[in-house]
Amino acid sequence: MDTSKRFEKGNGGCPSIQCETNQDVLCQSCASGVVTAAHRVAQRAAEPCLFGKGGTCCRNCNMGPCQIIEGVDQMIGVCGADAATVAARNFARIVAGGSSAHMDHGRGMALAFLATARGETPYEIKDAAKLRATAQRLGIDPADKATTDLAIEVGTLLVNQFGQQEGGLALMKRAPKARQEVWAKLGVAPRGIDREVVELMHRTHMGVDQDAANLLFQAARCALADGWGASMIATELSDVMFGTPVPIRTKVNIGVLKEDEVNVTVHGHEPVVAEALAMAANDPEIVAEAKKVGAKGVNLAGVCCTGNEILMRRGLPIAGSFVQQEVVLATGAVEAMVVDVQCIMQGVSPAAGQFHTRLVTTSEKAKIPGARHIAFDEHRALDSAKEILRQAIAAYPERGKHYIPVHQMDVVAGFSHETITYMLGGRFRGSYKPLNDNIANGRIRGVAAIVGCDNYRVLEEVHIELAKELIANDVLVLVTGCAATGMGRAGLLTPEALSMAGDGLKEVLEAVGCPPVLHMGSCVDNSRILIAATEMVLTGGLGNDISDLPAVGCAPQWMSEKAVAIGQYFVSSGASVIFGPSFPTTGSKVVTDYCFREMENLYGAHWDVAQTSNEFANKMLDHINAKRKALGLDKKKERVLFDMAMRRELQTGLQDVGCHGPGA
């Protein structure tokens, strides 16, 4: 990939990058001197190390690093490790790293939930109905139990899942029975959450597991502990505590910053921080302090997945995705950027340092040189949040030369599993049956998930062009994470986008009032897609397992290790996944063939790779069409015309079951 085209010397040296808004901001004089990831990518003329990119550089001991070439005897590790072993170890370590991020998040959420249930935080249980439904799924009888007592029981059980050493994970029982049988047969069902990461890291240590297939089995088990364990726990408990998302209209893009308010952006992945800031921003005391310095109030906007969390539940706008985090600061209009964990570039510190902006870290796990640290404690969440907001208010009078772009776009978000069920069938007949029926009759071709990061190394906005092509071909698109923010900027997250959809998809979604691309939350919320797929199986008519569904997932611009962990738990659950623009094992044909082909034999799903939006679309549509054919849905159904004999037979059947028509 030629990255030299991304840095243009004209117009102040602003980088030529995917997003028009980013380029607009960076080409303003107030952004002069701000160096972003776009600049750093452009300045790296060389491609990444091919050994590292292909997964065949081993640095797991001090005899290396060893660079391996498959099939060349002289190019194996000092210890004798070949390319397959090294690539499998490196892939497994990526899965472990990504899973650990979600697991730590899930643990934190479970502990905060338990503290809330005990009355130790200012949060509350907002969705008691979901609490009771979750309790039943965990095998806890909610009958005659007070909400507080039930929440303590649920929280205690789920906290214990992280340190559990034997048995199984309670929420894995939500999967289709056929899928549970696959896991049992292969021996990949997790025994606990944290245990699987520790074991995977041990197996990849020098001189332990040296069989590529065996390493990849443990990678699958670790990823499943993420998707059906930690991530699902985090999503379910966040919904119970902060409210299950319902469709809500708001805005995205940097133009959501406000000229006459204290702009505070919250960046990272922890909803407990964002929720506390949202509560404190509306506190009369804080509003009064903001007015004293000449502002109308506090404008809270999200960045990255924290943005998706507060967008889904509170309708607060998203200022930017992962690739926009430094650009948001380059406006000079942000009084404070509050960060917690994951996907936070160290480059935000020097970018904030160019302005009056306070960069505030909140997690003891994630400090940044040059930032102010205000430890966030959920037990005193409002006090912590007010302390942070006062830093921003103090900065407001110092705002100097700045530029707020006009770019912003309406979005509709909030499509939780529960919301989709309700929209398809109402309060009393909520069901995925209308979706399944319309897939069976061909109005909807299938379902595609476009998830994951955005990435400065990808020139084309693959997410957007791919989504357009899929919905034009009557494929319903589900989206999470930074991919969702990008599609929001492009106007794909509103019902108005149905004008770009195929006739069949448009007909169905106009009837229920859905956009053609459904925003389902942050990256941890990919567990919602697992549940949606499971519900499609349980509803019937589309096979007995997730692997039977005309559905496919992709992460076209993946950046984070979490994306690989997510991809692996989808593949292990029976949903094929296509990555782009590269795949981390390509230095070993043995391991790549295993991921791309052998996993299909084991899990009924496989990995694949693509680069352009057109290549992604072709592969995804081919996959969906193949699944339709296997289900016998490729054949056009002939219309049945009832003759008189058939009508008499039908009427006799109705009378036999006591149906005698209106007024009977």
What's the distance, CA 134 to chain centroid? 21
* Separation between Cα atoms, residue 117 and residue 123, nearest integer Å: 9
Chain Cα centroid distance, residue 190: 22
Q: How high is the pLDDT of residue 5?
A: 40
Does the annotation flag 305 for ligand binding?
yes
Q: What is the model's pLDDT at position 75?
A: 86
Does the annotation list 482 as a binding residue?
yes
49 is in an annotated binding site: yes
Q: Residue 639: its pLDDT value, please? A: 46
- For domain 254-398, is the CATH number 3.40.50.2030? yes
Residue pair 58/66 in contact by the 8 Å Cβ criterion: yes
Tell me what pLDDT residue 15 has.
52
Nearest-angstrom CA–CA distance, 645 and 647: 5
Q: What is the pLDDT of residue 9?
A: 35
Q: Is 514 annotated as a binding residue?
A: no
Distances (CA, A) of 632 to 543, 551, 552, 600: 10, 15, 18, 20
Would you give the distance in Å from CA 65 to the centre of its chain? Answer: 33
428-630 placed in CATH 3.40.50.2030: yes
- Which among 376, 366, 377, 504 is positioned nearest to 446, based on CA atoms? 504
Residue 304 labelled as part of a binding site: no
- Nearest in space to 335 (alpha carbons), one of 307, 358, 318: 358
**pTM attached to this predicted model:** 0.92
Q: Do 428-630 and 254-398 fall under one CATH topology?
A: yes
Residues 6+ apart with CB under 8 A from 371: 339, 349, 352, 359, 360, 361
Closest residue by Cα to residue 327 from 354, 308, 307, 309: 354
The closest of 482, 477, 520 to 498, measured between CA atoms, is 477
CB 588 within 8 A of CB 54: yes
The torsion angles phi and psi of 446, rounded to 5 degrees, stand at 175, -165
Question: Which has the closest alpha carbon to 376: 385, 367, 386?
Answer: 385
Query: Which pLDDT score is estimated for 626?
Result: 97
What is the torsional sign of CA 96, 102, 105, 111?
A: negative
Q: Where are the chain's structural domains?
A: 78-240, 254-398, 428-630
Q: Is residue 595 annotated as involved in ligand binding? A: no
Residue with tokens 């849905």: 633
Integer Cα distance of 250 and 246 in angstroms: 12
User: pLDDT tens for residues 78-137?
Assistant: 999 999 999 999 999 999 999 999 999 999 999 999 999 999 999 999 999 999 999 999
Q: What's the chain's Rg over C-alpha atoms? A: 26
Beta partners for residue 624, in sequence order: none
Q: What is the mean pLDDT of each run of 10 residues along the chain (664 residues)?
A: 37 55 90 88 74 88 91 86 96 98 97 98 96 96 96 98 96 97 98 98 97 98 98 97 94 96 96 95 97 98 90 92 95 97 96 97 96 95 97 98 95 91 70 93 97 86 94 97 93 95 95 93 93 96 98 96 97 98 95 98 98 96 97 70 54 41 32
Nearest residue to 223 (alpha-carbon basis) of 570, 604, 554, 575: 570
269 is in an annotated binding site: yes
Q: What pLDDT is attached to residue 44? A: 74
Fill in the DSSP letter of residue 343. S
For 471-504, how does the pLDDT look when each residue is reduced to its tens digit (9 = 90+)?
Answer: 999 999 999 999 999 999 999 999 999 999 999 9
523 is in an annotated binding site: yes
Q: Does 659 carry a binding-site annotation?
A: no
Question: Cβ-count burial of 19 within 10 angstroms (0-12 exposed, 13-18 middle, 19+ buried)?
Answer: buried
What would the CATH number be for the domain defined by 78-240?
1.20.1270.30
| Residue 583 near residue 435, CB atoms below 8 Å | no
Which residue in 372, 224, 254 sits closest to 321, CA to CA? 254
Is 66 marked within a binding site?
yes
Q: At 387, list the tokens.
A: 């302390």
Q: Are strands 318-320 and 298-303 parallel, antiparallel or unpaired?
A: parallel
